[in-house]
Amino acid sequence: MNYFKRTYYIPKLLYVVTITVLYSCANETEIVTKQPTLSDYTVGEKWVWKYKGVSTEGVVRSEGEDAREIVSVDDVLGMVIGTDTIPVADIVKPEENEMPMYDWPLEVGKKWKYEKNWTSQDGTTGTQSQDVEILSFKEETVDAGTFMAYTIQYKGKITNSRGYSAAAEDVWWYAPALKNFIKLTQTQGDFLYEEELIKYSNPSKN
The torsion angle over the Cα atoms of residues 62, 168, 136 and 81, rounded to 10 degrees, is 40
What is the reported pTM?
0.81
Residue 143 located in a structural domain: yes
The alpha carbons of the chain give a radius of gyration, in whole angstroms, of 17
Task: Give φ, ψ of 8 to 5 degrees.
Answer: -110, 5
Residue 205 located in a structural domain: no
Could you report the per-residue pLDDT of 68-92, keeping only the tens digit for each?
A: 999 999 999 999 999 999 999 998 8
More confident residue, 168 or 98: 168
Residue 70 located in a structural domain: yes
Q: How many domains does the chain have?
A: 1
DSSP the chain: --HHHHHHS--HHHHHHHHTT----S-TT--EE----GGG--TT-EEEEEEEEEETT--EEEEEEEEEEEEEETTEEEEEETTEEEEHHHHTSPP--SS-S--SSEETT-EEEEEEEEE-TTS-EEEEEEEEEEEEEEEEEETTEEEEEEEEEEEEEEEETTS-EEEEEEEEEEEGGGTEEEEEEEEETTEEEEEEEEEEE-GGG-
pLDDT band, residue 10 (cuts 50/70/90):
very low
Could you report the per-residue pLDDT of 95-141, keeping only the tens digit for each?
A: 778 888 778 788 999 999 999 888 988 899 999 999 999 999 999 99
Task: Give φ, ψ of 144 to 5 degrees.
Answer: -80, -15
Percent share of the chain, pLDDT over 70: 85
* Beta carbons of 72 and 13 less than 8 angstroms apart: no
Looking up residue 125, the CATH number of its domain turns out to be 2.40.360
Range of the structural domain that residue 59 is part of? 3-198
Q: Is the per-residue pLDDT at 67 higher than 80?
A: yes
Q: Is the per-residue pLDDT at 5 higher than 70?
A: no
Residue 148 located in a structural domain: yes
Residue 100 located in a structural domain: yes
